[in-house]
Structure 1
Amino acid sequence: MIHKILSYLIPINIHTEKSSLNKSIEITWTNGELVMDSENTNYSYGSLQRILRLGLKYIGFDRINSMENVLVLGVAGGSVIKTLVDEIKFGGKITGVEMEPEIIELANKYFKLDEIPQLEIIIDDAFEFVLKTKEKYNLIIIDVFQDTHMPNFLFESFFINRICFLLKSKGFVLFNTMLLDEKQNLRNSKFISEFSPVDYSIKSIPRVEKHNELIVVEKLV
């Protein structure tokens, strides 16, 4: 494909549209790879896929392979789902929650997300879904952004407690955050302090792709 070849020299945009929450969503060939970007940041594939792959690698591909179900809050183009299925060969159920139906339409069209048989996509707000779901999960991946903004509810005690309740024994939370200033550093520190060291093991992986910090939470009981 000519776009793929040319993209090693210069990024080639092939689709741009507005979504309900983002001024711009772009599908672009970059360095031979198709990526999804919002106005100011990578939204799926590219650097974001590398960031979340690092977190999954820290948890352990073999360990993930033995899990029954995974919840992904914030699907976008589905790059972390593709990592689970294509690289880790995860065969269990994946539930993906995405607020914007337009994003899922793009993910299906350009990244073939609808061809993954064990994936169920639910169009809903992540907070609302977490309140309603009765299922429990071995791994919960939180990757909820509106461009570079992270909704406040992600760091509130009620949401954190609900996530912990939905996590099975010996399960993991993989939380992708963005750190752009000292206020956000303090926000992340407060989030980590919410977890009891008796019941949870927490590892933070800072400065991933410059501005991201991964927080990995393991439920010990």
Structure 2
Amino acid sequence: MSKKLLSYFIPIKIHQKKSAINKNLEVTWTNGQLVMDSKNTNYSYGSLQRILRKGLHYIGFERIRNFKSILVLGVAGGSVVKTLTDEIGFKGQITGVELDPEAIALAKQYFQIDTIPNFTIIQDDAFEFVLKTREKYDLIIIDVFQDTVMPNFLFEEFFINRINFLLTVNGFILFNTMVLNSDHKQRNSDYRSRFDPNYSVRMYPKVEDHNELFTIKKLA
């Protein structure tokens, strides 16, 4: 029996790699598909792909197909990129920023993200990239974790303002957060309050248990 078939009965780990940034990265056959995980959470192609697919569905697949440029902060195995290109049929330019070189190596080896024609992956810190880029984007997907930990800069005013500056009018931010305790709930509530009436903010709680999604549209 092949590993793919056997994985419908029991997960089959095929690769494990130490990472200075994410501590431990694994590639596993699960229910007939390859997934990438860190020690405590799914990074690509499992629950994370379902979470971000829901967020993209909230924005609207037809709307996304008409966008020209998308920025993905936090690529891991690239499942959201595959959703954009294979499921939604997005033909514009996708730029992915991933800090962990080990994650990029696994994404190329097992998920062939370097074969996607309209996708460019850049190894960089999300904060640093956002400071440097001169481009404007119709959709910015923020999915930045180190295992289950979200860096503080994601919720700070300077970063929020910079992301808003990079967004085109009528463009969207899709922000995936993890809510594990009351402090995280308060953090997300504070984040929501930082947007003025020029932005339409929607929050979707309890997506796959511990995730909370934001969609933010720039109105003017």
Same fold, TM exceeding 0.5? yes
Task: Determine the C-alpha separation between the residues in 2 that align with 1:22 and 1:78.
Answer: 16
| Residue 134 of structure 2: aligned partner | 134
Alignment-mate amino acid for residue 48 of structure 1: L
Shift of 1:102: 1.3
2:75 alignment counterpart: 75
Using the size of structure 1 for normalisation, the TM-score is 0.99
Shift of residue 132, structure 1, vs aligned partner: 0.5
Q: Is the 8 A contact 2:22 2:100 kept in 1?
A: no
Residue segments in structure 1 that go unaligned for 5+ positions in a row: none
Give the letter aligned to residue 214 of structure 2: I
Q: CA deviation at 1:50?
A: 0.2
User: C-alpha distance in 1, partners of 2:22/2:199?
Assistant: 35
Report the secondary structure of 1:76's partner residue.
Answer: coil
CA distance in 2, matches of 1:22, 1:175: 20
Q: Name the residue aligned to 1:171.
A: 171
User: Residue in 2 aligned with 1:48?
Assistant: 48
| Percentage of matched positions with identical amino acids | 66
Secondary structure of the residue that 1:175 maps to in structure 2? strand
| Cα distance in 1 between the residues matched to 2:127 and 2:69 | 19
Cα distance in 2 for residues equivalent to 1:78 and 1:22: 16
Counterpart in 2 of 1:219? 218
Tell me the SS of whatever aligns to 2:19. coil
Distance 2:109 2:26 in 1: 13
2:47–2:208 contact (8 Å) kept in structure 1: yes
| 1:22 CA drift (Å) | 1.6
Aligned mates of 2:19, 2:91 — CA distance in 1: 32
Q: Report the Cα distance in structure 1 between the residues aligned to 2:113 and 2:68, rounded to whole angstroms.
A: 20
Using structure 2 for the length normalisation, give the TM-score.
0.99
Matched, 1:65 2:65: yes
2-side partners of 1:4 and 1:182: how far apart? 39
Q: Which amino acid aligns with 1:201?
A: S
Count residues with an aligned counterpart. Answer: 220
How far has the Cα of 1:174 moved from its partner?
Answer: 0.1
RMSD: 0.7
Write out per-residue CA displacement over residues 8-29 of structure 1, whole angstroms, 9 at most, x where no aligned residue. 1100000001112122100000
Listed as ranges, the matches of 1:185-196 within 5 Å are 185-196=185-196
The 3-state SS of whatever aligns with 1:24 is strand
Q: Distance in 2 between matches of 1:202 and 1:4?
A: 41
Structure-2 separation of matches of 1:98 and 1:20: 14
- Tell me which amino acid in the other structure corresponds to 2:207: V
Displacement of 1:149: 0.2
